[in-house]
Structure 1
Amino acid sequence: MSRAFVFPGQGAQTIGMGKALAEAYPAARAVFDEVDDALGEKLSTLIWEGSQDDLTLTHNAQPALMATSLAAMKALEAEGVTIAAASYVAGHSLGEYSALAAAGALTITDAARLLRKRGEAMQKAVPVGQGAMAALLGLDFEKARDVAKVAAEGEICQAANDNDPGQVVVSGHKGAVERAVELAREHGAKRAVLLPVSAPFHCALMRPAAEAMAEALSHVNIERPAVPVVANVVAEAINDPATIRSLLVDQVTGSVRWRESVLWMAQHGVSEAWEIGAGKALSGMIRRIDRSITCRSVGTPEDVKAAAGSLNG
């Protein structure tokens, strides 16, 4: 049996996440302190006591979710579970940075600063109101991609997230995405809804953000990860630092190939996935992709003890 540690992306953030971990495990608390120091502000106060609206802002949500995931990893380590318990790590969009930090390819400080930059750059790339994203439910990836192409009509509209067999997110110009919603309904989608996001992520409109990330990443040291990382844009395992750097840039405008990533891991022996950090969204997706993979959420002290007990029992 092989195990993957997977790390959530935007949308999983909730006020109070990680607080119990920080109170129960000094090593988890140290992660939040390190992120606060890296950013020069008390992000931990916002995470635990702030408003959901402020936490949901992209430049806050990205480092906050990474901090929560890495705090859970440090708690696991305190219970004797190291990264070596996983054959692979993977993360959904920003979660790929969490995965890389968990595997030792990035420091927590660098991951926090990169994600703050990434969030700011993604927000700046497209003026508010010009872009949109929509979830198309009940269409497979090929149908959703075809709908996006037809809806574009000279604008940008791309399949941005291939989340699971019945959930694809499209991203691009607002008018084109709105057309995609109507077309998807005509093509048999169970639901097609605009998402409450502040920018059109993972499409060509994010090119200015990709350029900003290329510059930021050029100044950061990337080590070889302790276990291979299944990268979003290629849906297979990588461990070469130069390739990691390049794919993190490509990821800003490229599709998140989550469904294919999970299938790749299943084909390479993964039968168990631990979702490290906030929420259970990835576990739901994984179950819909391949029911043979058992899923476990690790986001609270109780989860940590149960997960460690499952290995040590």
Structure 2
Amino acid sequence: MTLAFIFPGQGSQEIGMGKALAEAFPAAKAVFDEVDEALGQKLSALMWDGDIAELTLTANTQPALMAHSVAAMRALEAGFGIPVTQAAYVAGHSLGEYSALCAAGAISLADTARLLRIRGNAMQAAVQPGQGAMAALLGADYAQAEAACAAGRDTGGVCDIANDNAPGQLVISGTRAAIDAAVAWSQANGVKKAMALNVSAPFHCALMQPAADAMAAALADVAIRAPAVPLVANVTAASCIDPEAIRQNLVAQVTGRVRWTESVQFMVAQGVTTTGEAGAGKVLTVMQRRIEKALNGHTLGTPADLEAFAAATKG
């Protein structure tokens, strides 16, 4: 068995996330306490007993999902003797890349929490509400998505492929009029389903340049070490351990495409057979079935998940 740990992005949040881990494992509770202290906010209280609308605000969602992911990894090591170094790679989807880097020791937990608060605020502020949009093109191939984006850009606006999540599951992002035009093109040209997404900003497109600039400034002041496990980066879909390359990739990632399909394919090509999705939900585990059916996926969000994973991997 060759293992990779993967870390989810926005959309996996829910009230109660991580609470059972904190109650069962002191190592997990310590993660939430440290994140609360770093942010000067009882984020854990919001996560466990708060309002979902407040939790879904990007500035809260990003550090919350990271905290859950890192808590799961700390509990896995403390409770079951499975450290991150048992994996051949780590990879995360969008903000999950920060979770992966923190779990692999490249960025401190406090710095990661603060960076994600800055990232969330900067991404929200980059585009005025209502001016940007995102849409999912389901059943589209890459050529169709590129053609849809070209139709969107004919309006004079921005329209980019934001996420290549899995075969037949592409997401586009840009100005609202351009996305509407791309959706209309898709519906008229054989794409199975093209639908607008309920998102707070148009992520991973050129409109996010102000947020990329903010992250460049924030990351310049943060210590980044070589991760204990190679990171498969969103923007390159290749492994990286060089701290300066990681820093540059994190900036590029704000406006760049999340090349998740290629990232999973890269890990499989290097011999990965098993994944553990650390944190909330199972979005990545479900998506990888469309990418590589032979991959054996496990979710690592609850104490029961960790126990089952430990039994399966040590058996």
Give the aligned partner of residue 243 of structure 2: 241
Matched, 1:201 2:203: yes
Pairs within 5 Å for 1:1-313: 1-78=1-78, 79-153=80-154, 154-313=156-315
User: Which amino acid is 2:93 matched to?
Assistant: H
Unpaired stretches in structure 1, ≥5 consecutive residues:
none
TM-score of the pair, normalised by structure 1: 0.99
* Secondary structure, counterpart of 1:193 in structure 2: strand
Matched to 1:211, the amino acid is D
Deviation string 1:48-100 (CA, Å, 9 cap, x unpaired) is: 01111111110000000000000100110111000111100000000000000
CA distance in 2, matches of 1:17, 1:141: 34
Deviation string 1:134-171 (CA, Å, 9 cap, x unpaired) is: 00100012321221122112210000000000110000
Is the partner of 2:73 in helix, strand or coil?
A: helix
Give 1:306 shift. Answer: 1.1
- Corresponding letter in the other structure for 1:8: P
SS at match of 1:139: coil
Letter in 1 for 2:225: E
Tell me the CA shift for residue 311 of structure 1.
Answer: 2.7
1:76 counterpart letter in structure 2: L
| Root-mean-square deviation (Å) | 0.7
Distance in 1 (alpha carbons) for counterparts of 2:175 and 2:282: 30
Q: Tell me which amino acid in the other structure corresponds to 2:22.
A: A
Q: Give the Cα separation in 1 of the matches to 2:189 and 2:161.
A: 16
Percent identity, please. 59
| Amino acid in structure 2 at the alignment position of 1:10 | Q
TM-score calculated relative to the size of structure 2: 0.98
Deviation track 1:207-229 (CA, whole Å, cap 9, x = no partner) reads 00000000000000000000100
Determine the C-alpha separation between the residues in 1 that align with 2:273 and 2:142. 24
Deviates more, 1:273-282 or 1:179-188: 179-188
| Structure 1 residue matching 2:273: 3-state secondary structure | strand
- Mapped partners of 1:294, 1:186: distance in 2: 37
Structure 2 SS opposite 1:270: coil
1:224 partner letter: A
Secondary structure of 2:102's counterpart equals: helix
**How far apart are residue 268 of structure 1 and its match?**
0.6
2 CA distance for matches of 1:216 and 1:145?
Answer: 32
Q: CA deviation at 1:104?
A: 0.4
Cα offset, 1:25, TM superposition: 0.2
Paired amino acid for 1:119: G
2:300 and 2:106 mapped to 1: Cα distance? 21
The SS at the match of 2:136 is: strand
- Where 1:4 maps in the other structure, the secondary structure is strand
Shift of 1:9: 0.2
Report the secondary structure of 1:162's partner residue: strand
Residue segments in structure 2 that go unaligned for 5+ positions in a row: none
Contact conserved, 2:144 with 2:191, CA < 8 A, in 1? no
Bigger mean CA deviation after superposition, 180-189 or 98-107: 180-189
> Could you tell me how far 1:126 is from its partner in structure 2?
0.3
Q: How many residues align?
A: 313
